[in-house]
Amino acid sequence: MKVRCSGPVLAAAVLALGTAALPPAYADDMDPREIYEKAAPATVLVAGEGGSGSGFVYDAEKGLVATNAHVVEGQASLKVMIGDKTQPARLVGIDPCEDLAVLELTSVPPDLKALEFGKSKDVQTADTVTALGYPASIGGVGQKAVYTAGSVQNPQVADAEPSTSLPRYPALIQHSAAVNAGNSGGPLLNGQGQVVGVNTLGSGGDVQGQFFSISGDHARSVLDGLAEGVRKNDPGWILMGLDDPSLSTWFEDTDIDPAAVEKAQKQLIDSGVTGVFVVTARSNTPAAKAKLGLGDVVTAVKDTKVESVGGICDILQSASPGEVLPVQGVYSINADGKEMKFGAGWETDLTLDKESTTTGQ
């Protein structure tokens, strides 16, 4: 099963524990085993037809599960594994520009456990934190959530844009508790076993031992809206930065030749093109209705040059429901050599939905 990853900064699929020495615990902190036993039953594996990630139950009565948007974006037939049982789930709300989503179990088990949110504003440098999730290197029904522990390195990382393929994150917690591929969407816990973050990113390249979780205070304010059935900043496409070195890897195990993508990417960059690459567009969405699809490279939206997913999000977040956004771009691997020539420009209008409610994937 493929793990949902987006951009080179997501951690590699390696099952490893943090090696740094843990800071002293506060007197009222729970024992690590107590934290695990409290949180593991509410930490879930989220799986779709195209990959998997993690999540956690935060409302047991309603059967609501929080996770990252990049875990479920574009996925069909979502399922949630709770212990040794698998439950069908539906997408209730999603905001790719916040990288958050809410799922609802179609049938709520009577013994379902939930995690409570703590106050991430109270998290301080050197606090001990715990990350739970389902790394990609293990799998199968009945597997248990994996525990990693570390310390907070920076409790307030603001407006981070770690990759041109990722949105701009308003509030992150940087820590050393390992977050591997597959852990995305799982909980980051304080010493009382409360959620203070949503595990999202791992360090990449030469940087080691730095991991990032969306601040729990920020996430909770977004989740409340998504739980009402809101789909925000989601025209129905999946985008990656044209200059993202991992762009071609998205097409592994597909009918598209990754080498052809890499070749087209290099040709466009060498010719001075900047923008974002449309990986896919779901049917019956604003993107599909605008005839946007695989291989289109978006270079400008609303007469504003765009070079990253974060730039696209800035425009979407300031747009109104139902607004018509002029979009410009060029052809790449979708060029047919006739009407659509490689590198040639195109224009279209992207009409946003008037109502930002979910209508399924």
Active-site option among 184, 213, 215, 308: 184
Per-residue DSSP letters for 186-224?
Answer: -EEE-TTS-EEEEEEEE--TT--S-EEEEEHHHHHHHHH
For residues 69 and 67, what is the distance between their CA atoms, to the nearest angstrom?
A: 7
Specify burial of residue 271 (Cβ count, 10 A radius: 0-12, 13-18, 19+).
exposed
What are the φ/ψ torsions at residue 295 (nearest 5 degrees)? Answer: 100, -15
Does the annotation count 218 as an active-site position? Answer: no
- In order of start, what are the domains of the chain with their CATH numbers? 32-226 (2.40.10.120), 237-351 (2.30.42.10)
- pLDDT of 17 reads 28
- pLDDT of 325 reads 97
Does the annotation count 221 as an active-site position? Answer: no
What are the φ/ψ torsions at residue 146 (nearest 5 degrees)? Answer: -95, 135
Does the annotation count 336 as an active-site position? Answer: no
- pLDDT of 48 reads 87
Q: Is 229:358 a contact under the CB 8 Å cutoff?
A: yes
Residue with tokens 């999946």: 238
Q: Which residues of the chain carry a pLDDT beneath 70?
A: 1-27, 137-142, 204-207, 355-361
> Which residues, 6 or more positions from 167, have their beta carbon under 8 angstroms from its beta carbon?
96, 97, 98, 99, 161, 309, 310, 313
Which of 309, 344, 350 lies closest to 329, judged by CA? Answer: 344
Q: Is 286:353 a contact under the CB 8 Å cutoff?
A: yes
- pLDDT of 144 reads 86
- pLDDT of 205 reads 63
Amino acid at 135: P
Active-site option among 70, 95, 163, 248: 70
Active-site option among 52, 54, 95, 99: 99
Decide: helix, strand or coil at residue 253.
coil
